[in-house]
Structures are given as C-alpha cells and as structure tokens.
Structure 1
C-alpha cells in the first residue's frame, strides 16, 4: 500500500493530457525540454510535456557530468558562448547548489603538447575575464613540483608544469528531473514513456500531437496552441511530421565515456589527446574516475547508439598515456555509456561544430530547438518562452524567473554550512550513516525529509540497497511515489547513479526489481524482463541469464 505523504507526487496523468487544451506542448524530456516546461509554467502558461522514454534518458544523462564555461571553445573564438556558459554556471550554482558543486581542474602541460604553457596561460586569463572574475577561484599557473604534489600519479616524462582552474560537476539526470518537478509544482503536466507518432493540424498550423503510451500501448491526442520540438537527436524525425520537405537540421556527434577505478587525487584533469589533439577529461566521480569524451559523427538510429570497442580503446589509450599506473584497461572498465550531441548541421570536423543553439520555426508554427550545451539550457529555455511571449497569439508580460527561483530541493542559502548542518540533523533524526545523509542532501537537497519519512512507516526501508553504497531502500519507494519511476532502469540509471558503480550488476538489479515489483505490481515474468532489459542497456553480455561479471 502506497501512502500519500503530502508531497508533489509526480504522476503519469494521461487523463489530464487528454482533457485539457494547453498553451504549450513540449516534445522531449531532455534538459532543454524540461527547462522550457519549467520556464513556461512559472510564467503562468498551461504547459505539458511528453517524452518517449524516461526523463533524461537520452543525451541528458550521458554527459561528462560538468557544468562548465567551455574552456576549449576559446580556441574557436566562441567568446559569446563561453561568456554565456560562465554566467549560466553561476546561476546553476545558485539555484541548484545540492546538484552543482565546484570542482578544481588541473591541466598538465607536456613538452609534446600542441598547447604549451604560454597558450594555456593566455587561455586561463581570458577564461577568468569572460567569467567576470567571479569564478569559484581564479586560475593559477603551477610549477612542475606543484603538479606532482597535486597529482603524483601523472606521467612525468616531458611534464613542464600546469594550470589549475575551476568549473563545476553536476548530477545531470537529477538536474533534468528537478526541472520537471519544479514545472509540475507550478502547474505543468509531464508524462514519460509517451511517444509522439504524428502531429495534429488545424489548417496549416500544428495544434497538438497524437501520442502513444508505450506502457499500455494505447494512443491519445494532446491539443495545444503551440508545439515545441525539443527532442534532441530525434529533432529531424519530429520536424518531418510537420513537413516532409524540411532539410535535416542536425549533424549529431557521439560522445562516449567510461567509468574506471579512481585515478586522481581530487582534481579533474583536462588533457590534450595525442592522437587527434582533442581535449578530454578524467573526472573524480563518486570514488571512481569518469573518462571522456569522444567526438565522432553518428548517422545511425538515435535509439541504438552505444559505445564501440574503438571508442573505449581510444579513451583507455589516451588516459593511460598520462596516468600510466592507473587501472585504465578493459578489465577495469566498470561502466560505459554513449550519448548524442544534437548539433546544428554545418561543415567541419566533429570537434569544430558549434555548440551554440538555433531556434527554428516551421511553416506550421512548430518551434524546434537544435544544438546547445547542457550548461546553457536555462538560457535556451528563456529564449524559447520569450519568443512565444512576444507573439500575438500568447503575448505575456510575465518575466522569466528561472534564474532567481531555486529548483525543486535547491533552497540552500549557504550550501557549505547548510549541508553540514542538515547532514548532522538527518543522522540524528533518522538514524542513518553520515555517508547516506550526505548522499541524500546531494540528491534531494531541502526535500530530503520527503524521502526519509518513508522510514517511519517501514523500518526496513532504512536498509542499504547494497553494502558499501549510501543508497537505501526508501529511495525506491520514493522514486515510485514521487518521481515517476516505472522501470528498473529509471531508478538505477537516472534517479540514482547505481548503474555507474561497481554495484551495477544482477545482484543489485534483482534486489531493486523485487521491491519495484511490490509497488508497481509486476509479476515474476515482468520482473525478470526488467532485469534483463537493464543489463542489456548496460552493455552486459548475457549468457544463461548471468552478466559477464
């Protein structure tokens, strides 16, 4: 029996989608779509969103987990993009301090690198200037000895020194989800596993969509005065529903990451790849290292993008070159994932394509959002809703408030001291360990009690999901009741990061699936199907029902 705790209760309200005519229908539950939904709802528009998978199940949960100014874009003289990104980084630190945290980066400079110390120093100065000198800390150039002291496992041959600067790490999937939660709190409707199969027209205008519920198989209509295509890599598929003559808007590139045992001592590393002179990262990630990313053109089905052996070999090769003693080999790859960047179609190599966004308006009135960086999603959303607010059909003078109002759970006034105080309070009140308390604040922010209150009804929910990890069973129940978890992968891959840990195999999947089965009324056959689907999504070879490790 699931109890209503008086919280938000994010529900799949399909009946609401079919019974109202909305001002805006957003297609796509990635970060741009969820950001647009929140902005529109806060301005008083009746807004709805449908997503063919789970929220953030595409590229928005397969990023480098960084909110960053885009240091490498300085080489392309994309100064406007870097300025905008630095400003948005500050904003996200303010409205989501539980999900976005400062992170020191070290750039080791080697004799053979195309970017020498002078180039790096000049870039650092310009980076601080574009951040209006309001970064967490200003950059500093460091000596050879300081580099060794900070990261003693770096390859020493040819090392000449380095630079330290700051960007931010984030929980990409939960940041996307909290935009949905904030939007629904403001009156919006959002449904996952709801796929648009065609657009509805009123004369020449797009007036809604025919949607298929991928859980029940039934179709329904959603009517809206304005339809927004924020479907990321699937953008061209939706625009063709509006006009078969539309030229492709996108030129997607694939980015692959791997998770390996921890390889650094606290700094993220920005490294120049020797093979193609691209920059890539080695980032501290929950006790592990996140290594990535690649950047290659992709012309296949967006639903089938996966890391290739060549992608993984590239990351291992370049990572081991600068961290020769690290556990950077195929045997120690804990997880891998691939996402597609929905970049605007233009000539050039993958790394040369602009990360700026473009808003297209089709003859049908369909608005399509192409390109953009995760970091600048809030600004993209503001531009889209501003455009609608300036139009004759839905003119509005209500200003954008998304840069001022905290995201759902983001109301920490002084993040460092508030988090310490709340952690101590959570430990005392709920009898949880300090690691679990800290984990809850990083995941749920000021809403942590909403999750922990489940323990008061069922003491068994205090138990950890797996030994050595901070997650507890109460999060499973909360995910179903409040965060629209409807599959095993929703919970393991996007409501938590268990899928990116060593606890990502069948044992953990089985335990979580058995609890989800209780809340979602799965029979044994469906429970096993959920486990197998998750393991296949994680690229585990399945043999007789057992993953390879």
Structure 2
C-alpha cells in the first residue's frame, strides 16, 4: 500500500487530525492541486480535501485545451492573453505526457466573425503577447490551403484561414499528476472528504470539520491558513464563513459531444464561428471527434450538470453549418459531458463575454478564497495564493521558506528529459512494452503517453500481477492500470477510474461497457466491498453511462 492509495484514505485523514498545518486547501480541482504543489515545494506543511473525486468538477469537464486565450484578445483582455500564453508553455514543458501542441485551423468566411485582415493582425499580436516560439507562430492560408488542411470545412464564402498552435491536454490527468507531485513533496490529500463547517477562535478561522463521505466518520483538522479553492462551490463556502459579500460567482455551463470519426472524419482541429456569433472547437482525439463548448448561464445541480437535448441539438446544428457534407444526427453522438465554469459575475454581460480572470479575496475571519481563472493559468494562480500566505507568516517562518519552485518543476510522470526529448522517450518505452508484453505499437504508445515517466511503475505492476489479471479476466494492461490507479492515484470508486484516470467514459464508452463488470469485481475484491456496496457502485457506473450516452 502506498501513501496516496485508495486503501489508505482513513489513515491519511486520521493523521491530518494530529497535526496543525500551515495551509489547508478545500477543493481538489486543478486550482487546489496547484496550490498544494506550490505550498509543499516551498516548505509549507500542506493538506487538502476534496468532497468528490479529484478533478470531478470543472477540472475534468473542460474543452481539454491548455490554450493561449485567443478568444480573450477579441475582448481586449491583453494582460490575460499574455499571462496564459506564457503559462501554457510552462505546463507543456513540465508535463509533456499530458499536454501536446495541436495545430488549430480558424476558417474565415465572408460575413463571419473574423475577417482575413483582422485575423492576421490578431494572430500576430497573439503570437507576440503569448511569447509563441518561432516554430509555432501563426501562418495565414488561402481558401485552397484551408481546404487541403480540412476538406470538410464549408466551401461557400470561404476566404482562407488562420493556422496557429494550441495545446491539447487531458485535464483530469493533469490535475491528478499535479496532485501526485504535491503528495510526493509532503502534502496530504484525500478525496471524498467534505468540509461541513469551519472552526473559529476569537473570530478567526482555525480549522474545519471534515466528513469522510465514504465512511461517514468525522474529523477535526486545524491549520494556520484555510484556502477556499472549491470552484463552483466558492460562494457556498463563503456563505458558511458568513463572508459572501461584494463580488459573487455566476456559473455557466459548457457541453461537449463526442462522435466517432467514421461518421465525422475530422483531420484537423478547428476553431469555428457559429451563426449566432459564438466560437466552437472541433478536435480529433483517439479516433473520435469532440465538439464544444456551449456557454449558458446555469443554476441547477452544481455537482452533477447534465446535457440536455437542446445542448446537443445546438452543437449538431453548428457542426452541420460549418461541415455541411457530414450531416451529423443525434444518433451519431456516442457520449457527451457537461461542466460548470465558475466566473465572477459582471452585470449585463453574456456568458461568453464574462472575464475568465481570477480574483482572490480574504474575509475578516482570514479565509482566503480564489475564484475564476483558467486551467492554463493554474500554476500562476497557485503562486499568487501562496505568496499571500507567505506574507502572513512571522519573520522566522518566512525565512525558512523556499521561493516558488513550480516554473521548472516536472509534475508526476513528467520526468522525461523535457518536451524536446519526449518523442525519443515514447519510442524507447514503446519498444520495451512491445518486446516485454507483445503489445501492439498503438497500445504500447497509448500507455506510455498516458503515464509518462510513471510507465516504469506500471511495467513493474504488470510483471507482478500477470496471474491476477488472468484470474480477473482482464487484459494485463487494464489490470495493471487499475492497480496503479488504486495504489498511486487514490482511485476509490469505479467511476474514478473509468472517467478521470482513463477518460474512457467520454472517449471510449464501448470499452467501458466491455470491461466494467470485471473492473468493478476487481475493485470489490481489493476493497472488500459487501454485495450491497458492489451493487451500489454498479448502479452508479450505469447511471454515468446512461448520462454520457443520452440527453436528459
């Protein structure tokens, strides 16, 4: 059993009760994970809890791009473009196994949102602000060059296109890898642990009451500083602290749909405008094409946003508008997901116009809240928060702290010799997997990309558990991947593995249906579930499959 194991949750929570932490973080999305990594590497005693699974909220339900914010240039948010543009290069360098450059095509049509001249100028400014390296700077294409890149694009009124680089990521795995690195540096982190209330002393927040959602057990945990990094639940925490005043959140919902490339044979990632003036991404990934996002105000169940028929119809309409020969229908959608974005409310603004800037507030009780922000900017947001905490320490404590370490620190799985060496790393480990386990080249490469430098641990598990995999009626790679998730990534429920550790629920739902029974049975044995518990988890998996497959 390892320290960040799904089997070790109770011990970690019990240990949290015995210490006073320098910093306690509520929320295990990318923002909370980033703060935990920054704080722990500076030498702060750090703890974090998440009421669901890590990345279960917004951080697993984005467009899965660490992008430079071209859309924000349109809103004249120059500072934001400059910051996130530079940050995305850092995210890539520190974890090339979870982030990869993706050339993006922006078709320009007569009467569309972007003109050829304005796009050329905009992309040039974008390259400058974002510090884009020479090999990835934008180029402008003619109509014929645009169609050569993507023949499915609407030909009528096509003037040409802009061609520039974005960075594609696996948002949930990025979050998990950042969290694992924080734990490696001494942070304590537990999922399925909900902060029920705050503990005060002389009007100042000194701790939290935490309920283990799995066991129902209650814990009292104390810290010098409490950070509210709960994303869409930020105002709920501020309410509990009786400090919700001034600026508040406005939640918006984004929806994505997934279509097999046999029905939508997209060659090239596209950023296209819609008849109502919005912008939508269509991105090829692992034999699928996913399309999104919508941007609508949202007030329903924050923990469980759902995809409506109206959401799906809207995205289908945009696909058939920009790719008229495809003629996609609702039956072609294999899966979908909805995510909630926590934006800072600006009166009178449309959801797509509200700023994605982050803001930090400190209440009279001392509770620090961070809200807004982007996936791309998580590291910089964390640095700002930890800087604020550092200023509150006494002189002796402050002197013992390191400066921010995260700008050049590889995340878990990122020890591959930097982005320049990543392809050579892939080739070497792929060859080893093929030789040792007779995997196909495709499967060997997929596993190496998924786990990065942690592939060596996965290989060890494969050698160790080959017999158990046969008994579980699972392929060696799946059994080892599941075992790795439980031991090293705090997989606690089947949906943790099926959605956030593998991405399969969104991008390979057929695979989920094929292996779900064996995966649940294996976990039931590992965790000694009762028959009732096992049935409960089976029902939960079926509910998520149904939701991903159908609109509500």
Pick the TM interval, shorter chain.
over 0.9
Is structure 2 residue 463 aligned with structure 1 residue 456? yes
- What pairs up with 1:127-146 in 2 under 5 angstroms? 127-134=126-133, 136-146=135-145
Q: Find the residue that maps to 1:225 and give its secondary structure.
A: strand
- Partner residue of 2:494 out of 488, 496, 510: 488
- Give the CA deviation at 1:155: 2.0
**What is the count of residue pairs matched by the alignment?**
538
> Distance between the aligned counterparts of 1:509 and 1:86, measured in 2?
39
Match of 2:217 in 1: 218
Match of 1:380 in 2: 381
> Distance between the aligned counterparts of 2:443 and 2:162, measured in 1?
34
**Once the two structures are superposed, what CA deviation does each residue of 1:135-178 show, in whole Å capped at 9, x if it has no partner?**
65111111111112111122212212111110110011010001
- Judged with a 3 Å threshold, the aligned counterparts in structure 2 of structure 1 residues 308 and 135 are, in CA distance, closer, same or farther, namely farther
**Once the two structures are superposed, what CA deviation does each residue of 1:466-510 show, in whole Å capped at 9, x if it has no partner?**
99x996221111111111111010000001011011325544322
Give the TM-score taking structure 2 as reference length: 0.93
Any unmatched runs of 5+ in structure 1?
Answer: none
- Give the CA deviation at 1:248: 5.8
> Distance between the aligned counterparts of 2:315 and 2:468, measured in 1?
39
Match of 2:360 in 1: 359
- Judged with a 3 Å threshold, the aligned counterparts in structure 2 of structure 1 residues 7 and 226 are, in CA distance, closer, same or farther, namely closer
- Judged with a 3 Å threshold, the aligned counterparts in structure 2 of structure 1 residues 464 and 474 are, in CA distance, closer, same or farther, namely farther
> Distance between the aligned counterparts of 2:320 and 2:472, measured in 1?
33
Query: 8 Å contact 2:462–2:477 — kept in the other structure?
Result: no
Query: 8 Å contact 1:252–1:343 — kept in the other structure?
Result: yes
- Give the CA deviation at 1:433: 2.4
Give the TM-score taking structure 1 as reference length: 0.93
- Partner residue of 1:512 out of 516, 519, 539: 519
> Distance between the aligned counterparts of 2:389 and 2:3, measured in 1?
31
If each structure's helix is expressed as a fraction of its own residues, which one has the higher value? 2
Q: Find the residue that maps to 1:365 and give its secondary structure.
A: coil
- What pairs up with 1:73-88 in 2 under 5 angstroms? 73-88=72-87
- Judged with a 3 Å threshold, the aligned counterparts in structure 2 of structure 1 residues 80 and 35 are, in CA distance, closer, same or farther, namely same
> Distance between the aligned counterparts of 2:194 and 2:134, measured in 1?
41
Q: Find the residue that maps to 2:206 and give its secondary structure.
A: strand
- Give the CA deviation at 1:287: 1.3
- Give the CA deviation at 1:265: 4.2
- Give the CA deviation at 1:264: 4.6
Q: Find the residue that maps to 1:266 and give its secondary structure.
A: coil
Match of 1:280 in 2: 280
**Once the two structures are superposed, what CA deviation does each residue of 1:37-66 show, in whole Å capped at 9, x if it has no partner?**
010000111100000000000000001010
> Distance between the aligned counterparts of 2:108 and 2:471, measured in 1?
43
Query: 8 Å contact 1:106–1:163 — kept in the other structure?
Result: yes
Match of 2:404 in 1: 400
> Distance between the aligned counterparts of 1:91 and 1:466, measured in 2?
41
- Judged with a 3 Å threshold, the aligned counterparts in structure 2 of structure 1 residues 63 and 465 are, in CA distance, closer, same or farther, namely farther
Any unmatched runs of 5+ in structure 2?
Answer: none
Larger deviation, residues 384-393 vs 175-184: 384-393
Match of 1:31 in 2: 30
Match of 1:104 in 2: 103
What is the CA RMSD across the aligned residues, in angstroms?
Answer: 2.3
Match of 2:13 in 1: 14
- What pairs up with 1:143-542 in 2 under 5 angstroms? 143-243=142-242, 246-247=245-246, 249-262=248-261, 263-275=264-276, 277-326=277-326, 328-347=328-347, 348-393=349-394, 395-396=398-399, 397-413=401-417, 414-460=421-467, 472-500=478-506, 501-503=508-510, 506-540=513-547
Match of 2:45 in 1: 46
| Greater relative CO (CA pairs within 8 A, separation 6+) | 2
> Distance between the aligned counterparts of 1:464 and 1:472, measured in 2?
13
- Give the CA deviation at 1:306: 1.0
> Distance between the aligned counterparts of 2:471 and 2:272, measured in 1?
37
Query: 8 Å contact 2:356–2:373 — kept in the other structure?
Result: yes
- Give the CA deviation at 1:535: 2.4
Query: 8 Å contact 1:102–1:136 — kept in the other structure?
Result: no
